[in-house]
Structure 1
Amino acid sequence: MSEGALAARVLDALLREDYGGLRRFAGGSVLALPGGPSVRLLEDDPGFLSHTVVDPSQGLRLDDVLAAVRRVADPRDDVAAFERECRETLATARLHAAARPGVLRRLARVPDELRRGPGTYYETLAAYTDHPVHPTGRCRIGLNEAELKGYAPEFAPTFPMRWAAVPPERVTAAGVLPEWWPDEGLFPVHPLTVPHLEDMRVLPEPFLDVAPTLSMRTVAVDGRTHLKVPLTTSTLGLRNRRTIVPRTLPDGALAERLLHDVLRREPHLPVLLADEQTYGHAGSPLLAYMVRRFPAATARAHIVPVAALLAEAPDGRCVIERWDVPELFGAYLDALLALNVTLFRYGIALEAHQQNVSLVIGDGGLKLLIKDYDGTLVLAEGPLRGRGAFEDARMVTRDPEALARVFVTITLHLCAAAPAFGLARRGLLPARDGLAMIRDRLDAALGPDDAFLRARTLDAAALPGKAMVTAGTLVDKARTGSADINKHYGPPGPNYLLRDRRFRHHHRHHHLLHPRDDRDDTCC
């Protein structure tokens, strides 16, 4: 990512969110940056989250964008943190550019059998892609070059987990520990977190070698198990800390059980759930863990996070090109929309974005794998009421509109539309075809009793969008008024599902998804 490309992405996000009233400086196809140059705007039709985008070819300087931020900012805004975030993103992108060829050469030598199961092959590839919405998604705030190379998934490292001896009276735990756990009285600690545990004895002996997944704080232990531990960095904004708030562990486990309730009632849904019922904490966001176990059906399948579909594979093609692109994308949309529309009927909206939803591609056809449930939103008066209480009140709402906003911003924007627009940019599927596939499959999933959700999606004049930069870094919760920074919304954007209605495609076939050929170098 060049400086001009990053500057354009940052300015796009600020305009989308209308940070500091920045839109008032735009007229026609020109944005007059306060105190800076004029910037060309391009009409984006069909638009993903905005009707216009900044022309990335004009050589925009990051300094000019940040100067404009300083001019429109409220004195209370954390502009310094945002500047640091942008500059660290640029430095990380340059580090990626230097390391990527070597990493891809290493991954090209990974045999096909090791690319299957819930390992790190696809996770490493996905780590080189940009977040569809947040412009500084590559940044792990505060980590230096050596720490990134030693522990970030882009560099495909392995490292030994550290272990802390925690007094039993401080421990709250649930579930059954794996056989490889060294001792019940020990807590796993990420090496980067060790310096922050001043009052804790951390054993010098390494007991377990692990590899980072896309989230970085979650590491792969073996072919069936991941381990989630706290990190002191932030991603997607300074306020998005990668520590683990203790209450999120039982809340996530309860949300998973609710999903199992739904799947028992709806056995036709092609969905697998990761088991996240084993966890522990010591009352601290720096001393906690969650053991994630994967279903047996994932062991021999390709487990491809949605974030990896458009990543560059070692052969230079996109990951998705290993399979027939329209067929795979269509089968994925069938599963995604059938699941989330069904959950909406039960009063559930998953905050399962492109990192937490994976395609399970094996001999039995496509399934979805869902993990990380602690951002789930549940309707208080929904059909599953009375199944338990969440410790975090923000996981429950009495407002169906809140549920619909999560459905739109996560399921539609990040999991369906972002890949469709990405396929179009890469010349793999025309935008009108990809959007028609989303529209047709959502239309088919919505039944006669789903008028509310239909009105908020297919028939809406505009679609809500998150103000991720505003809430994640620049403005604190006390001033945004949002209890959850991940559910803070800015100005609405275009409804890309309203466009080109005449282009309709009816791919309702569920074929087995076979690779285009069986050469190792095409297995991405």
Structure 2
Amino acid sequence: MHRPPAAEAEVAAELAAVRPALGPRFAAELPGARAAVLTRLWRALAHEPLPWIERREAGRGGLALRLSDGRRLHGPPADPYATTGRVTEVRLDGVAYDDPARLTTALAVPHGDGFATELADSVASLALSRAGAEATGGGAGPGRWPAHDWEWEQRVVDGHPYHPNCRSRPGFSVAEQLAYGPEHRPPPVRLTLLPAPAAECLVTGDWPEELRDGRDVLIPVHPWQAAHVLKRSGAPGPAAHPLMSLRTLAVPGGPHVKTALSARLTSSVRDISAGSVASAAMLSAFAESLAARTDGLLHMTRTWGAVTADSPDLAALLRESPAAYAGPGEHVVPVAALATTELPSQPGWLAELARLCLSVGLRLLELGVALEAHGQNLLVVLSESGAPMRLVYRDLADIRVSPARLARHGVPLPELPERIRTDDVRALRRKLFGSLVGGALAGTAGDGETLRAALATAVRELPRTPDLDALCQQPLPVKALTLMRLSPEVPGDQWTVLPNPLRPQGI
């Protein structure tokens, strides 16, 4: 019998105080939330280079892992691209575990205790997200497509399709999750405006006059950040709708406001560095010039202005809404939200999306820019009938740029941050392939065989290049998300490879 971890009990207790009517729904969602997070964890155990796993053995009964201490872990087959399957139980030396946090504690691996706490938070928050989404309703289908861009973001309930910390929101109370989580369809969030002397701020781009007050710059701050990190009050700012990233909010009829949010969501703490502010306008102009080379198939959302008060905890970016690139009757949809519609199940539709995404992504890669085109950053413009027409990309902070490739094509190189410049072909390819194929397209397909069929059709129509050959022939690089959480002493991204989805025998 399952004994609820502390996170589940704490959420239940808080829910009883702030939203008691949601309590029964939360309890009903817990088993599914445990299975969803356990499924993501089992995928990591099956495919990531975790140092305490010595050998993996696939058989008719599923998958067996031999640990370095001699113990054995048994579970079902692990399709690395599946999002719809559910792992309800894994056995460690014959003992069954249905809870990812308890399994991680039992594994007793380095840094496992902290990770187990994060997994317990992820389960509880995911159950809360599912309960809240169920309570507020919402549907799919062309006849009921959202009218506003933020409503598409609200349809993504489960978060990252492959990260075990898909819904971990440490430091957020239940009331704050209900108020700020887009999947809960909260009322607009009132941003806080904090003044900072203009002489002490770094400002790039065009910072609007309405966000200035004499010699001060008014910086939009997420209310959670103001209360818990900065511990300051300020003037009420614009009301805005939270998007998938939680810290970015859409002002109706205005910009998207990217705020600093110094909480660990999935893998990263979401602050805004001074380097990001300094390069924002230049990077935006550079990206816009590259989009012009895609024959109208790609738009880059422009960064209008950025500011930091000499602190990654007090900074903001104002960015153009992707909805600006929708024509009459069209919809601009984050790729992560496509799985909430019936479109991926329509014959040939996923192959058309894959062809569009790959043609644009590979074209930019050939020019020298690797996009981090996961389902949150990449959006697709759909026709009134749902056909994929064009792409929109937002958030340039983690792209990679090759000076050598740019020079080969006569593209001037601006003074970009050192961290995004590289001529390492492997680094460029894994940035694009891992995010686009292993993230956006795989998450939309929902399983390896569906992904393989769509990619096989799409690549036949693309011009052959060394980058495309690498995508078709080599294992697929993706971020080792669990290894990263279990290796806090290793900075930056860590990677693994998955069986090539274009090779059916590898899935």
Q: Aligned in 2, Cα 1:285/1:103: closer, same or farther, shift over 3 Å?
A: same
Per the TM alignment, residue 152 of structure 1 is displaced from its structure 2 partner at its CA by 1.3
TM-score of the superposition, structure 2-length normalised? 0.80
Q: Aligned in 2, Cα 1:408/1:198: closer, same or farther, shift over 3 Å?
A: closer
Name whichever of 241-250 and 33-42 sits farther off: 33-42
- Given that 2:250 and 2:257 are in contact with CA atoms closer than 8 Å, whether structure 1 keeps it comes out as yes
1:105-504 maps to which residues of 2 (within 5 A)?
Answer: 107=138, 115-117=146-148, 119-126=149-156, 128-157=157-186, 158-178=188-208, 181=211, 183=213, 185-196=217-228, 202-203=233-234, 205-237=235-267, 240-267=268-295, 269-294=296-321, 296-298=324-326, 301-311=330-340, 319-321=341-343, 325-363=346-384, 366-384=389-407, 386-391=412-417, 393-420=418-445, 422=446, 432=449, 434-447=451-464, 450-451=465-466, 453-460=467-474, 462-471=475-484, 473-477=485-489, 480=490, 484-485=492-493, 488-490=494-496, 492-499=497-504
Q: Aligned in 2, Cα 1:97/1:33: closer, same or farther, shift over 3 Å?
A: farther
Per the TM alignment, residue 113 of structure 1 is displaced from its structure 2 partner at its CA by 9.8
Per the TM alignment, residue 12 of structure 1 is displaced from its structure 2 partner at its CA by 2.5
Q: Give distance in 2, aligned partners of 1:5 and 1:33.
A: 23
Residue type of the partner of 1:362? S
- Given that 2:38 and 2:87 are in contact with CA atoms closer than 8 Å, whether structure 1 keeps it comes out as no
Q: Aligned in 2, Cα 1:256/1:328: closer, same or farther, shift over 3 Å?
A: farther
Residue type of the partner of 1:455? D
Post-superposition CA distance 1:128-162 (Å, at most 9, x none) = 13422211111122212111111111212222111
Q: Give distance in 1, aligned partners of 2:348 and 2:42.
A: 35
Per the TM alignment, residue 283 of structure 1 is displaced from its structure 2 partner at its CA by 1.3
Residue type of the partner of 2:286? L
Q: Aligned in 2, Cα 1:374/1:5: closer, same or farther, shift over 3 Å?
A: closer
- Given that 2:352 and 2:458 are in contact with CA atoms closer than 8 Å, whether structure 1 keeps it comes out as no
Q: Aligned in 2, Cα 1:20/1:98: closer, same or farther, shift over 3 Å?
A: same
* SS in structure 2 at match of 1:233: strand
Cα RMSD (Å) of the superposition? 3.2
Residue type of the partner of 2:43? D
Per the TM alignment, residue 230 of structure 1 is displaced from its structure 2 partner at its CA by 0.7
Q: Give distance in 1, aligned partners of 2:440 and 2:480.
A: 18
Q: How many residues align?
A: 454
Is residue 2:116 matched to residue 1:83?
yes
Post-superposition CA distance 1:283-303 (Å, at most 9, x none) = 101111111113633375322
Residue type of the partner of 2:133? R
Q: Give distance in 2, aligned partners of 1:18 and 1:263.
A: 36
Identical pairs, percent: 23
Name whichever of 325-334 and 212-221 sits farther off: 325-334
* SS in structure 1 at match of 2:153: helix
Post-superposition CA distance 1:372-404 (Å, at most 9, x none) = 01101011212256421223x220112112111
1:517 aligns with none
Q: Aligned in 2, Cα 1:198/1:358: closer, same or farther, shift over 3 Å?
A: closer
* SS in structure 1 at match of 2:415: coil
Is residue 2:125 matched to residue 1:92?
yes
2:21 aligns with none
1:51-70 maps to which residues of 2 (within 5 A)?
Answer: 55-56=87-88, 60-70=98-108
Q: Give distance in 1, aligned partners of 2:210 and 2:349.
A: 37
Per the TM alignment, residue 185 of structure 1 is displaced from its structure 2 partner at its CA by 2.3
Q: Give distance in 2, aligned partners of 1:87 and 1:362.
A: 41
Per the TM alignment, residue 62 of structure 1 is displaced from its structure 2 partner at its CA by 3.0
Picking from 75, 91, 97, the partner of 1:41 is 75
Post-superposition CA distance 1:182-208 (Å, at most 9, x none) = 6462111111111356586x32x4232
- Given that 1:16 and 1:49 are in contact with CA atoms closer than 8 Å, whether structure 2 keeps it comes out as no
- Given that 2:285 and 2:302 are in contact with CA atoms closer than 8 Å, whether structure 1 keeps it comes out as no
Q: Aligned in 2, Cα 1:56/1:255: closer, same or farther, shift over 3 Å?
A: farther
Per the TM alignment, residue 331 of structure 1 is displaced from its structure 2 partner at its CA by 2.9
- Given that 1:213 and 1:220 are in contact with CA atoms closer than 8 Å, whether structure 2 keeps it comes out as yes
The runs of 5 or more residues in structure 2 that have no matched partner are: 1-31, 91-96
Per the TM alignment, residue 100 of structure 1 is displaced from its structure 2 partner at its CA by 2.0
1:507-518 maps to which residues of 2 (within 5 A)?
Answer: none
Q: Aligned in 2, Cα 1:134/1:376: closer, same or farther, shift over 3 Å?
A: same
Residue type of the partner of 2:504? R
TM-score of the superposition, structure 1-length normalised? 0.78
Residue type of the partner of 1:14? L
* SS in structure 1 at match of 2:279: helix
- Given that 1:4 and 1:60 are in contact with CA atoms closer than 8 Å, whether structure 2 keeps it comes out as yes
Q: Aligned in 2, Cα 1:63/1:348: closer, same or farther, shift over 3 Å?
A: closer
Say which structure, 1 or 2, has more relative contact order (CA 8 Å, 6+ apart).
Answer: 1
Q: Aligned in 2, Cα 1:140/1:405: closer, same or farther, shift over 3 Å?
A: same
1:518 aligns with none
- Given that 2:456 and 2:502 are in contact with CA atoms closer than 8 Å, whether structure 1 keeps it comes out as yes
